[in-house]
Structure 1
């Protein structure tokens, strides 16, 4: 079978979520092509061509696809879908934005957040906030899947795929006006090896910034937050980890003042090592933590900072 993987990129860099989605695509035992959508994204296409197991890279260039407008992205994918049996999309905020549109236009039932490929038509995905897994079998002629990157290892380099360039579709009735990007020297949350997250116990945005950010900077970590902290205005939306936020699986996850609601656990429980700091000994976060410290963060975090030097 032929599989089309939609690359996750920012017009300049190829994110490793693409490599992980390629790993899932290779499990379908077919030819794997990568579609790069962007504007001035030649470097991204060159990086995609080096991924092991990729047969061909298609670079679709255009202003609308470069800005990630869902209508334009979906129409570009639809134009290519006739030559493929499956379309695999990283389960990022961007991917979740256009994947349903692609599935609807292909008259297919999308299968979201795939964590395991059993066979060419059978997949495993989490349900009930990740507390159960369901196996889904589809009879759709064309399959549209969003792949949870944290569940797959990234495909390595070593490939030398051919590349071709096409024109990306334009969005009809939609105009790009502008965007506000949060720029930070810290690692991107979904790709970081270490994440330090704060919860509602911080009490204020000032306290969140005072406690969480210095610790993250000391560790070279990304900053995360629980939904309660985000809803309270302590942290911006793009920091949110959980069922309705971002799913992360870093090598080290430090939860400070987070009780561990089931929705939050769904976004971080696959982390390799989980450290929890909470003064409530009965907090649910301790049930998934590898290391738990029952203490007030106002004492524990300064002591940790001092120990780190």
Structure 2
């Protein structure tokens, strides 16, 4: 049994979500191979080879793979699977925007059902995944010869980035399918940690009242804690902050060491995105707010008094 992980990278380095996906593949059992599809991405392939537990790295290098367009990555993966000397029982990728775009295409081409957003591996064909916004856990069994799986990375500890000595094998990239092209890409540059990788997150909700209050209340606290800033969907919809800040089922799934929820009532959608955090602190004037149901520590009171006091003492 051999598992293939589709690496997420920027052509220079492997993104952290790949390490969590490798860990999930290791729980399935058997050898773990990593496929790096990019252009001028030798550095990323070299980094993948150092991941502990990876036996082989398959490296496809071509101009049409530089931007990670889903159609071209899918074509390269399918061509590799069809011509590979060995049979792969599982193909895995992180349940990120990139993984969610590529993997359904691979599943369709293989004519198998995709197993999405797994949070646990029970056996090589049985997995747990959340349903109903995380309020229930479904155990899913697949009897397909090839299981196509996306991994909720927050539920698997990352494989060590160092310690491996995998061999790198060059493979052919599929021809450019020519059905899509990248028009532009805007990358948000943040001075603070990126939301999905941050160890501490300070997150605000509609209770803050305005975008001005959001920044005035939360930025000083986040700066002191070297934390990322997040928000509920209600705060994003109200225009307090951009979509990039949204934590929740339709936003970003996070699991930091510390999550501070300020003025967030705790809608199911939001809880689905942050309840795996190691320690949750909730600040809300409504003692019946659902957020207190998942919080390790709760402060009931006026956030406009509590947050400045908290900022002062940390």
Q: What are the superposed Cα offsets for residues 192-232 of structure 1, whole Å, 9 maximum, x if unpaired?
A: 11111111122222222222223222211111111111111
Q: Measure how far apart 1:167 and its partner are.
A: 4.7
Write out aligned runs for 1:234-245 (5 A): 234-245=240-251
- Is 2:71 the counterpart of 1:66? no
Indicate the residue corresponding to 2:20 in structure 1.
Answer: 20
- Is 2:168 the counterpart of 1:163? yes
Find the residue that maps to 1:248 and give its secondary structure: coil
Q: CA–CA distance in 2 between the matches of 1:284 and 1:42?
A: 48
Q: CA–CA distance in 1 between the matches of 2:172 and 2:238?
A: 44
Find the residue that maps to 2:219 and give its secondary structure: helix
Indicate the residue corresponding to 1:119 in structure 2.
Answer: 123
Find the residue that maps to 2:122 and give its secondary structure: strand
Write out aligned runs for 1:88-99 (5 A): 88-99=92-103
Q: CA–CA distance in 2 between the matches of 1:275 and 1:60?
A: 45
Q: CA–CA distance in 2 between the matches of 1:248 and 1:261?
A: 16
Q: CA–CA distance in 2 between the matches of 1:270 and 1:175?
A: 36
Could you tell me whether the CA contact under 8 Å between 2:71 and 2:179 is conserved in 1? no
Q: CA–CA distance in 2 between the matches of 1:38 and 1:209?
A: 38
Indicate the residue corresponding to 2:154 in structure 1.
Answer: 150
1:236–1:135 Cα change, 3 Å: same
Q: CA–CA distance in 1 between the matches of 2:182 and 2:173?
A: 15
Q: What are the superposed Cα offsets for residues 132-178 of structure 1, whole Å, 9 maximum, x if unpaired?
A: 11111111111100011111111123110001233544242212111
Indicate the residue corresponding to 2:267 in structure 1.
Answer: 261
Q: Measure how far apart 1:307 and its partner are.
A: 0.8
Could you tell me whether the CA contact under 8 Å between 1:278 and 1:294 is conserved in 2? yes
Q: CA–CA distance in 2 between the matches of 1:64 and 1:282?
A: 53
Query: Which stretches in structure 2 are left out of the alignment for 5+ residues?
Result: none
Q: CA–CA distance in 1 between the matches of 2:206 and 2:285?
A: 13
Q: CA–CA distance in 1 between the matches of 2:262 and 2:173?
A: 44
Q: CA–CA distance in 2 between the matches of 1:54 and 1:18?
A: 11
Q: Measure how far apart 1:66 and its partner are.
A: 2.4
TM-score where L is the length of structure 1 = 0.96
Q: What are the superposed Cα offsets for residues 241-294 of structure 1, whole Å, 9 maximum, x if unpaired?
A: 111111111100010110000110011001000001111111110111011111
Q: Measure how far apart 1:300 and its partner are.
A: 1.2
Match of 1:284 among 276, 281, 290: 290
Does 32-41 or 193-202 show the bigger shift?
Answer: 32-41
Give the aligned CA root-mean-square deviation in angstroms.
Answer: 1.4
1:161–1:264 Cα change, 3 Å: same
Q: What are the superposed Cα offsets for residues 39-89 of structure 1, whole Å, 9 maximum, x if unpaired?
A: 322222111111111111122223443212111111111112234221001
Find the residue that maps to 1:112 and give its secondary structure: strand
Q: Measure how far apart 1:236 and its partner are.
A: 1.3
Runs of 4 or more consecutive aligned structure 1 residues displaced over 4 Å after TM superposition: none
Q: CA–CA distance in 1 between the matches of 2:63 and 2:194?
A: 24
